[in-house]
Amino acid sequence: MEIYGDSKSGNCLKIRWVADHLGISYRWIELDILKGESRTPDFLAMNPAGQVPTVVLADGRPLAQSNAIILHLAEGSDLIPQDAYERAKMLEWMFWEQYSHEPYVAVARFQVKYLGKPASELEPRLVERGRAALQRLEDGLADTPFLVGERPTLADISLVAYTRMAEDGGFALADYPRAQAWIGRVEAAFNIA
């Protein structure tokens, strides 16, 4: 399997972490999105959306979108709950991550860390929604050590990718102590440095 990714991207790192956790062998192909390396004709032929991560499976089929990729890689593993309701709760968190967390927390990080914008100059609605997302995560961890119970699932790997980097975007993780402790548990479970 080949993984086309940019190591600056939490969405790309999710793929690496799941593959490593499950012992899936792969070849990492680093692309720099800031240099437009996902917009070349060859890459666009593989993924017309021009986005990373993209994987090319051992049989040559490409697959894009981070949460779809990790779901495919983890099929049949303990990272996907067997119970139908718990599996649906995992997917609920994963869908929410791409719609209500990543667009704010990751975008703030990108603007501050890679575009050099001062956190104080971020669009107020972006900051407000990023804080709301982090609070939703904080609240979701009130009763269990992981998002869907007592052990990590793909929901945790999906959400930890940008949550652990939230301070790069000007968010104070100390304001979310349950989420901060959860980051440590997920990093330990997946050997994330």
Burial 132-149 (b: 16+ CB within 10 A, else e): ebbeebbebbeeebbbbb
pLDDT value of position 90: 98
pLDDT value of position 136: 98
As a whole number, mean pLDDT of residues 89-97 equals: 98
- Which of 1.20.1050.10, 3.30.9.30, 3.40.50.970, 3.10.129.10 would CATH assign to domain 84-189? 1.20.1050.10
Q: Regarding the domain with residue range 2-74, which homologous superfamily does it belong to in the CATH classification?
A: Glutaredoxin (3.40.30.10)
Share the mean pLDDT of the chain: 97
pLDDT single digits (tens) 159-189 = 999 999 999 999 999 999 999 999 999 999 9
User: In terms of Cα–Cα distance, which of 101, 45, 115 is closest to 56?
Assistant: 45
User: Is the pLDDT score of 193 beyond 90?
Assistant: no
pLDDT single digits (tens) 115-138 = 999 999 999 999 999 999 999 999
Where exactly are the structural domains of the chain? Answer: 2-74, 84-189
Burial 46-61 (b: 16+ CB within 10 A, else e): bbeebbbbbbbeeeee
pLDDT value of position 77: 98
As a whole number, mean pLDDT of residues 64-90 equals: 97
User: Is the pLDDT score of 25 beyond 90?
Assistant: yes
User: Is the pLDDT score of 4 beyond 90?
Assistant: yes
At 36, the pLDDT band (50, 70, 90 cuts) reads: very high
pTM of this structure: 0.94
**Residue 81: is the preceding peptide bond cis (ω within 30°)?**
no
